[in-house]
Amino acid sequence: MNYRQLGKTGFKVSELSLGTWQLGGVWGTGFNHTSAQQILEAAYEEGVNFFDTADVYENGESEKALGVFLAKKGSSANIKVATKCGKRINPFINKNFNPEILRSHVEDSLKRLKVETIDLIQLHCPPTDVYYRPEIFGLFDRLKEEGKIQHLGVSVEKIEEGVKAIQFDNVTTVQIIYNLFRQRPNDYFFDMTHKKNVGIIVRVPLASGLLSGKMTRKTTFNPNDHRHGNRNGEWFDKGETFAGVPFETGLAAVEKLKEIFNGYDSLAQVALKWILLNQKISVIIPGASKLQHIQNNMRAGNIIKFSDEQLQATQDIYEHSIKPHIHDLW
């Protein structure tokens, strides 16, 4: 495992880490704590030392599972945990965001994680207007002074939200969608964060599994799975589902990618390695609902290189098949 610095947090984190949105089972199927502990342990054994979660993942069960895992490993394991707050606010609108509510959510996360200090707390894709409210960001300075958090980050839907967020000096990381099907952040945003020493956490690196190469037109999903019910943004921002790419369009592009990378073990590894080529990325957080997902994803770092021809062909697919559908939306 290779390790990179997570911006001005100073943390050295595994470049391939673990996102826990689907920890403990496939989306929409309920939480299995035994499975969760097995996956966390498998990731740790692969060298993962950074785990990303949120207070809303399985209604807090993901945080609880990490709390059990952290207690078992002890402080000597030097594990860093990032969680998120804000999504529990309902209705999820700007005027309902206030420091008191967010403070209570952070304190709830501390209890579920069974820690005294959260390594990295992230505002969880708040409404855009929240980024224009200094009192919200000021709260986290106070929480840091109180020893309840070490660092603040943001998780954003739109690049422009990230641009606004990093104007606050206490924002140390930005979590954003970036993958073979979502390339706009590299147009200019990563240059901005690099200059400010703001860490980049890449989520949805496999476009909700599309870039695993295992889906077909016959693939079906649980009714509670966002890949079934959120393709047009019915539940939340549609960019979180298949990175916003229409399913059929994505499948066609994946078939072309399979031809380009025919000799590789898995398309998922190729997709992750492509992201790692960008040195302005701090860490990728692919999810895993099965042990084999961990084992497969962590092998991405072993890919030595791609040819110039492969990289150009990949870019051509994006330019012609994907970009017209989504490039300017996020």
DSSP string covering 140-159, please?
HHHHHHTTSEEEEEEE-SSH
The overall pTM is greater than 0.85: yes
Angle at 170 between CA 15 and CA 142, to 5 degrees: 120
What number of residues does the chain have? 330
Other CB atoms within 10 A of residue 62 CB:
26
State how far the Cα of 169 lies from the Cα of 6, in Å rounded to an integer: 15
Catalytic residue, from 3, 44, 57, 132: name it: 57
Does the pLDDT of residue 149 top 70, yes or no?
yes
Does the pLDDT of residue 13 top 90, yes or no?
yes
Q: In the chain, what percentage of residues exceed pLDDT 90?
A: 81
Range 3-210+268-305: architecture per CATH:
Alpha-Beta Barrel (3.20)
State how far the Cα of 237 lies from the Cα of 200, in Å rounded to an integer: 20
More confident residue, 221 or 176: 176
Q: What is the pLDDT of residues 85-144, one digit of tens each?
A: 999 999 999 999 999 999 999 999 999 999 999 999 999 999 999 999 999 999 999 999
**Range in 43-52, 87-96, 285-294, 312-321 the model is least confident about:** 285-294
Q: How far is CA 222 from CA 144, 208, 211, in A?
A: 40, 14, 19
Is 57 a residue of the active site?
yes
Q: What's the confidence (pLDDT) of residue 29?
A: 67
Does the pLDDT of residue 238 top 60, yes or no?
yes
Q: What's the confidence (pLDDT) of residue 122?
A: 98
- State the pairing for strand pair 12-14/80-85: unpaired
Evaluate the omega torsion of the peptide bond into residue 91 and state whether it is cis, within 30 degrees of 0: yes
What is the pLDDT of the chain when averaged over all its residues? 94
What are the residues facing 154 on neighbouring strands?
123, 174
Q: For residue 110, what are its two tokens?
A: 């501390």
Does the pLDDT of residue 227 top 90, yes or no?
no
Query: Where along the chain do its domains lie?
Result: 3-210+268-305
Helices (H) and strands (E) in the chain, counts: 12, 10
Beta carbons of 60 and 23 less than 8 angstroms apart: no
Q: What is the pLDDT of residues 21-79, one digit of tens each?
A: 888 766 566 789 999 999 999 999 999 999 999 999 999 999 999 999 999 999 888 99
Does the pLDDT of residue 328 top 90, yes or no?
no
Q: What is the pLDDT of residues 153-168, one digit of tens each?
A: 999 999 999 999 999 9
Q: What's the confidence (pLDDT) of residue 26?
A: 65
Other CB atoms within 10 A of residue 148 CB:
19
Reading phi first (left if > 0) and then psi (alpha if -120 to 50, else beta), residue 207 is in left
| pLDDT (mean) for 214-243 | 84
| Sign of the four-CA dihedral 177, 178, 182, 186 | positive
